[in-house]
Structures are given as C-alpha cells and as structure tokens.
Structure 1
C-alpha cells in the first residue's frame, strides 16, 4: 500500500502517511476463532486520495475507542513502531524493516504468496488434503496397473519413459495453469473473470496446439516434443523475469485491453503445452523404425489390424489424469513455500523432464532397432 501510494501520488513516504488509517474492525465479523473466548477481527485499512483531515481522524479514533478496537495507525497523527519505518524517507530504514519482517514471518502475504489467512507456512488442512489426494491417486494408480495387466499391455523400458512423460506434463500443466490464474488475477481484478479468461485461453490454445502438432508432426512425434519444449521453456523464463513488471505496468488499462493482453500473453504457452499429450500417444504407438533406402519408415500400433499389446493409450490417459489431480494440490502447496514465481520454475522443470523422457524413448527405440537416424531425418 505504501509503495503504491508513493508511486501514484509522487509524494514522499512521510507525506503518504496522511492518506492511511488502520484500525481493528470491531464489532465487525470475526474469523479464525480457536475457542469461544478468542476472537480474531479483520483489520480495516482506509486509504484516501487526499490527506485525512483532523476531524476525520478524531471521529475514527472515538469510534475505535468506543468499540475497544485496536488502533494501528491514524494518518500521521499516530504511527507506532515498527510501522513508522514504513513511512520513513530513508530507504535503508524501510529496507531493514521489510527484510526483518519477511525473515521473521515467512507467511507474510505478498502478490507472489497471497495467503492472508495462513497462520503457518503449510497449514494442516493442506497436509490433510495432500494425503487424501495421494491416497485416492494411489488407488486409481492400482486400478490402472490392474487394467494394464488384465489387457496384457506390453510394458518395457521405453514404456516407462512414456509413463514418466505423462506424469511430468500432467503435474507441469496444472502447476502452470493454477499459477497463471493467480498471476493474472492481479491484472483482471476478480477471480471469476480471471478463471474464465485463463481457462478459455489455455483450453483454446492447447486444443489448437494439439491439432497443429498432429498436422505438422504427423509422423514425427518426438520432433514435436523436442521442438516445442525448448520454446516453451524460453517463454516460461520470460514469464518468470518480466510477467510481474508487465502486469504492474498495465494494471490501469481498460478491462477489454487487459483481457486481450492476457489472451496474447498466455496463448503461446498454451499452444505449445497442447503439443505434448498427442505426441506422447503417437510415441507410445510407435512400434517400428527402419531405414528403407535412406528413408525413415515408421509404423504405429494403432494402424495394425490385430494386436493391441503395444498400445498403452489407456494407461497413459489415466496416468496423466492422476498426475493432473496431484499437480493441482501441489501448485497451492508449493506456492505457500516458494511462491507462485517459484511455481513457474517447477513447471519449467516438469516440461524439461518430459523432454528428457522423449529423448531417452527415441534412444531406446533406435538402440533396439539398431537403426541410425540422421539429425535431419523424420524424427
């Protein structure tokens, strides 16, 4: 609040103190009660575009005292320690206060970790939720394994890379999606609007990406992965470095422009994220790789008339869904620990892991088929 006032008014830190009053909101709603005799009241922060006058300050003070509300700040009339350091023109004093506060209270809410009501870094509710989700995911995984054995799905070393690929992109996709929703909530203003715009953009762009990858890389699924993931990694790094600055510099734009900006920023990432799963299905279906007169020939299990033993589509779909569910919970949990900016890096690592799985998969197939494929070949 202090930084925003300084930036918007162009005044010094000492001067903007006249624009702020902070009191306990009694007898307002209370929350976080641990027993019948303990109440936690919200904090009411009042900000005015012009300085509060003495009459207004006196009125607020009298009402607060009448309701036994704790007074934190009354404009520049009353600014107790340590909050007085926030309104000190000496930047070193302000920096010392901020760094000390963050170090002593890792749960302090910020735009990067806006968990206002978390009284501990990892609340017990989140641990219970994670354990519950992991238990359900374990049960679903057991059903997938049972189905794979019952249908006699062929499972070899290459298949293990495909399963890992499905896990990586499932967790990575959800971590990035949840992070995008939170990040662009600052730009779009309301959770409903942010959820609507971001889900629309991600689903549309990933759907288009899935279609385009099938058209361009119809016989080169590994090529689709190894082309798209490095570009996606670059985009995520740009988000990590510059997204917050972009949001802060455009937050005052008209709503329609902010929606268009959100769409434009997210579409490239969603487009490339859409490449991955269709490519995985084709990689899993790839059963032959041969050089025929210097031409690479590929065959897919899907197109053979008989056996389905090499087709792990059901297993991969199920694995990806389970990983996505776990990824949703992990996104919130990790944000409490490392922040949503950190989540961007976790999502990046997930997709890089998927890329490594694709490399090992094609290496394993080339080794088993004793086939040499040039870099400019069809893979």
Structure 2
C-alpha cells in the first residue's frame, strides 16, 4: 500500500470515527443535561482540535509521523474516558470549564493526528482532505441506523473501537492491536452485560423532570435510544403512565381504564367546545390529544409526532392505552407537524398543539424542533388549514408562554385578514386551569370572530367546570389587554413594556422559548468565554511568530479563519432553511451535513485533477463559493414551494441536487490553501488546521448568536462575507 493511500484511509477512518463520536456524544449529553449546557460544553470541547493542531505547529517533535498511531489510540482511550465520565458524573454538578477540558481530550489528539498527517504530505492535501470529508460524510449517513440499532451509550463505545481500528489502518503495531482489543472488549461487554448505564433518577439537571416521579416511587418500565432521543416509559406512583424524551418533555398515555381524572384536563375542553369532525394534532406524544378528540366524537384524527419511539411505546403497550393509535379514524404520522400540514393541504375542524416541546439538543445549536411550531408563519399556516368555523387550540405551560402565543395569533390574523390588533382579539379566547401547578392556559383561535353567543357559552361552561377566564372578547378584557381592545394601545406596546420578550418569533428567528431580552445569558457567557480563549490563542500565535518567523502568517490566519467560521455558518443556516421541506429534524440535519461533506470531498478530488500542480492560490476556489451561495439564495425560494407536495424521496433527492454544487465548491478552498501553505512552510499546514478548527467553533457560536439577535438570514449573509474575505486574502498566501 502506498503512503498516500495509507494516509488517506487513516484520515477517512479517523474522521468517520470523530464525526460519529461528536454526534453520539451530543445525543448522550442531551439525555443528561439541558440543551444550552450541551451546546456550550461541546463547543468548548471541539476547540481541542484546534489546540491539538496548534501544538503540532509549535513543536516539530509532535509532528513526527511515527507518533500518529499513538495519537489515535489516545483518542480512543480519551473517548472511552469521556463517555464513562459523562455517565458517572451526571448526578453531580460538574463545573462547565472542567467538563469542557475533559471533553476536549479526544479532539486534541484528533487535531494532533490530522495536522501531522497533512504536514507530512502537504502536496497531497487535496486528496487527503477529500478522504477527511468523505469519511465524515459517510459517518453522518450511518449515524441514524447506528443510533437506532444500539443507542447513544453503545454507539460511543463503538466509536472507541473505530478509533482503535483507524490506528490499525495506519500502522498495525502492538499498541494499535491492544487498543483494538480494548475497544472490542468495552463495546461487546456493554452489549452483553450493560456495565455502563444511566441512572435517570440521579440526574442533577433541573431540566430533567423525569427525576420527580422516580423520586416519588415511580419506575422506568422501558427505555429506548435512537437517533432522535432517549425515550423512557415511566409508571409514576400515582396517575397515568408517561413518556419522557431525554428526561424531560413528558407526555401522558391515556389509560383504557380508570381515566376519569383526564376529564378535568383543560385540553379536553378545547375539543368539547369545538366538536370537531376531523382533527390535526401536532406533538401527540403518548396519545392524550387523540383520546380527547375521540371523546369529543371526532371521526378523523391525524396525529403527528416527531419521536418514533413515543409512537412505538404507545403501540407496544396497547393493552394499557386501549390501542389508542389504532382506533378507527386515527392516523399517526411520524414527522414534523408543519411539514405534514403543508404537504397534505387539507382543512381541519381543529388543529391542536399541546405543550409542544422536546428539549433535544442538536449539532447546530439549541433545541429547534418545537421552535418551528411556534412562529408567525406557522400560525398563518394553521389558520389557513382550518375549516370555516374551525378552531386552533393551543395548550400551554404558563401565562408567559400564553402571552407570547397570543402575539403569534394576533400577528397571523393581522397578516391574513388585514385586521387591527383590537379586531384580531375578537378571534381569541383565553382560559386557565388554576388547579394545576403551574396553572395551565388554553388559547382558542378562530378565523371568524367569536360571536357573542359563543363567548357567553364558552365562558359560562369554563367557569362551571372550574376554569378561569382570562380573556373573553366583548365581555372580559383585563389589563393590559383592555387598552388593546379599546384601541389605546397595540399589542406591540404590551410587548415593549413587558420585562420579558413576548415578540412573535418567525421562521428566521424561531426561538419561542427564549424569553430573555437580548442575548440569552448562557449564550452570552459562552461567547465571552470563547472570545477570551480565542484572544489568548491569537496572543500565543503572535508570541510564536516572534520566534518562528513564519512566511505570510497574517494572510494565512485570516484565510483559514474565514473558511472555518464560514463553513460552519453555512451548515447551520442551511439546516434551518431545509428542515421544513424535508420534515423530520434528524433526517434534515443528516441530509445537509452529509451532502456538504461528501460533496466537498468530491470537489477537492476534482480540483486535484483539474489542477495537478498548485504553487499559488487564485481567487477562484473561495470566489466560486461566494457565487454559488448567492445563486443558492436566489434559486431556493423559487424551488422550495414547488417541492412541498412531492414525495419524500423526491424532496430528498431534489435537496441533494441543490446542495451538491455548493458542497463541491466548498471542498476546494481549504485543501487548496493547505497545499500552497505547505510549499511555504510545513508548520503552516498544522497552523492552518489549528486556526480552522478554532474558528469553526467560533462560527458555530456566532451562528446561534446572530440567529437569536437578527435571524438565520443574517447568518447566511455573514457566511458569504467571510468567503468573500477568504477570496480577497487568497492571493496573499
């Protein structure tokens, strides 16, 4: 085997294992901690890749090819340590900085490995980079079946084995052999003996509400891991069985017997009031919404649930639930609610959302699944799919979520019917169940104004049952809504004086559960911490340059920093743009990342064939990305509406075809820059990996910061600007 082929196979295997590890670690940590914590810890940890490459740039002894096998074995060992430590420390409050340091260890060794291999064969950087991207892309494709087959815990241990296998590919010496045997032992041992398990009752995160019923004597009846989340079926000491997603987001399975207590749920009131014949529910979970619809006499119920294991658990426990999901007229769709609603283009007597929340962390940032459900565009779609006298029912968590949902309803009604704020409120009724903790609000919205007879009947019935009336058009309007009804103020004025952010989220800024004004404190803290780290690293780079005298260091740093941040920003923005078309969030993320990575690898190989020798970098590699991004911005809004009603396979293939040219273009600038940098000085190759790795994390955090503040469209524009900067810098390398 030639050296180039051996290096390429090693890089492909290492990148595949690294990508699998990052995604499976995200899944594991999401079950243990809150999404903002997961995002912060992983962001800081992935900085380790840049730090490892920086160490290789600073000390030539670390760039010896003979050390690569050791680095990869240490990657596997540290990955094992991270997986085990994450589980065993989940019951304690580990400082964020300490968790980030430990989680960074595998990435430090990956950075050392990649920078050493690329430095050794810098002339072949485009071939090696193709192996890197294609390996990671293939891993992204395989992650869904892998997680579905063995869950996050066993998948992490499987990654340990893959790291050891990558070391064997590079050099099948004693250390790599021992490492591979260790990987097989820990993975196979957990498959058979379950020596590594998560105690959900002992979790320290306040976000993990599963701890409450378990502390009160409840028990977990069954646990299922897949690519979407960890799903637990819990039998509390009292009350109905519940399904928990990643330890939070509980949903009730309505029992076939002894279900009288469910009649008091304010959610049932919405169905009894509307008396719908055909119903569409989003986030059906354990099936309670379906039970409500059937109790109210609905003949047709379409229940959409994004978590396949929730549906499977309900079906597999049909004796308890009365086989709720297989009752006559009930159809269950595992998908994203809005995507189904758009594609099927049907009208319903009721569209119902009940406390839709998943709290599952994603590679792109905070939990986004439920946020797509609560946007102005989403509410406009809901209203457009209602029959003439149809109801939109939203059961919420508290009065704060109700107030923000009210802003969505008002804006959607104003947009569709050209109403004033006061006129829009004639279409809304707000109720509250005071007996729950916290009290549970219910919002009822219609396309037509509520008549006086309807308002009186609904208000009297609600009060007789024991519910409180918060807003009844024409009858009851408490402050601050009384000023809106009278026309003195608009609801925008109410939003302005509120201590929390109640503004209506949009598809471009879909952060419904973000109530802090300005940047969320945890995200601001992360951005500050990352900024301090980056400044410290840049100061170290200046200090290093004082002695090293590397050629064209400033231009190289700017070029590779722009590419690192720009690539990540494009990835994040595209995931947000495409997810509503594709549907299921897991498939959307996989499709975007895999297409960009594999496409980038093919682009790097193609450029090597078109330009076998490369002594100087031209404007075209990065400039072409700018042109394709601008073209994509123009084409996507034209193509997207035409694809909404297409079959899933057609939508996926069309998306791949639209993303592939962008992926091909994005795979060229970094590899081409590495090749030219290697001609200047071998240390610049490792340094390029370091800068690119650090600024990839900067790009990820900056994407979320910009999206929360200005929207994902701004993220996309900034990414174009970054590639334009790389284009202008290219000739200076």
Q: Same fold by TM-score, threshold 0.5 exceeded?
A: yes
Relative distance call for 1:20 and 1:249 in structure 2 (3 A) is: farther
Relative distance call for 1:102 and 1:141 in structure 2 (3 A) is: same
Q: 2:648 matched to which residue of 1?
A: 255
CA contact (8 A) 2:603 2:668 kept: yes
Q: Deviations over 1:248-286 (max 9, x none)?
A: 332232211111122111111111111011111112123
For 1:40 and 1:125, locate their aligned partners in 2 and report how far apart those are by CA, in whole Å. 27
Q: 1:334 matched to which residue of 2?
A: 706
Q: 1:293 matched to which residue of 2?
A: none
Q: Deviations over 1:275-324 (max 9, x none)?
A: 0111111121234xxxxxxxxxxxxxxxxxxxxx5541111101100000
Query: Tell me, which stretches of 5 or more residues in structure 2 are unaligned?
Result: 1-377, 404-436, 475-480
Relative distance call for 1:238 and 1:143 in structure 2 (3 A) is: same
Query: Tell me, which stretches of 5 or more residues in structure 1 are unaligned?
Result: 10-14, 33-37, 75-79, 85-96, 288-308, 362-379
Q: 1:264 matched to which residue of 2?
A: 657
CA contact (8 A) 1:22 1:73 kept: no
Whether 2:722 is the aligned partner of 1:360: answer no
1:220 deviates by: 2.9
Q: How does 1:1-379 map to 2 (within 5 A)?
A: 1=378, 3-4=380-381, 18-22=389-393, 25=396, 62-63=461-462, 66-68=466-468, 70=470, 107-119=503-515, 120-141=517-538, 148=544, 153-156=548-551, 158-220=552-614, 222=616, 226-287=619-680, 311-361=683-733
CA contact (8 A) 2:570 2:715 kept: yes
Relative distance call for 1:356 and 1:27 in structure 2 (3 A) is: closer
Relative distance call for 1:98 and 1:25 in structure 2 (3 A) is: closer
Q: Deviations over 1:49-83 (max 9, x none)?
A: xx9xx999967983587332645889xxxxx9999
1:40 deviates by: 8.2
Q: Deviations over 1:352-375 (max 9, x none)?
A: 1001111233xxxxxxxxxxxxxx
1:163 deviates by: 1.1
Relative distance call for 1:57 and 1:142 in structure 2 (3 A) is: farther
CA contact (8 A) 1:184 1:194 kept: yes
Number of residue pairs matched by the alignment: 305
Relative distance call for 1:66 and 1:172 in structure 2 (3 A) is: same
CA contact (8 A) 1:210 1:274 kept: yes
1:246 deviates by: 2.9
SS at match of 1:115: coil
CA contact (8 A) 1:22 1:71 kept: no
After TM superposition, the score normalised by the length of structure 1 is: 0.66
SS at match of 2:656: helix
For 2:596 and 2:444, locate their aligned partners in 1 and report how far apart those are by CA, in whole Å. 36
For 2:656 and 2:510, locate their aligned partners in 1 and report how far apart those are by CA, in whole Å. 23
For 1:286 and 1:45, locate their aligned partners in 2 and report how far apart those are by CA, in whole Å. 67
Relative distance call for 1:214 and 1:107 in structure 2 (3 A) is: farther
For 1:115 and 1:23, locate their aligned partners in 2 and report how far apart those are by CA, in whole Å. 17
Q: Deviations over 1:100-138 (max 9, x none)?
A: 999997953111111111222322221012112223444
For 1:140 and 1:229, locate their aligned partners in 2 and report how far apart those are by CA, in whole Å. 25
After TM superposition, the score normalised by the length of structure 2 is: 0.36
Q: 1:366 matched to which residue of 2?
A: none
For 1:320 and 1:59, locate their aligned partners in 2 and report how far apart those are by CA, in whole Å. 60
CA contact (8 A) 2:402 2:443 kept: no
CA contact (8 A) 1:22 1:44 kept: yes
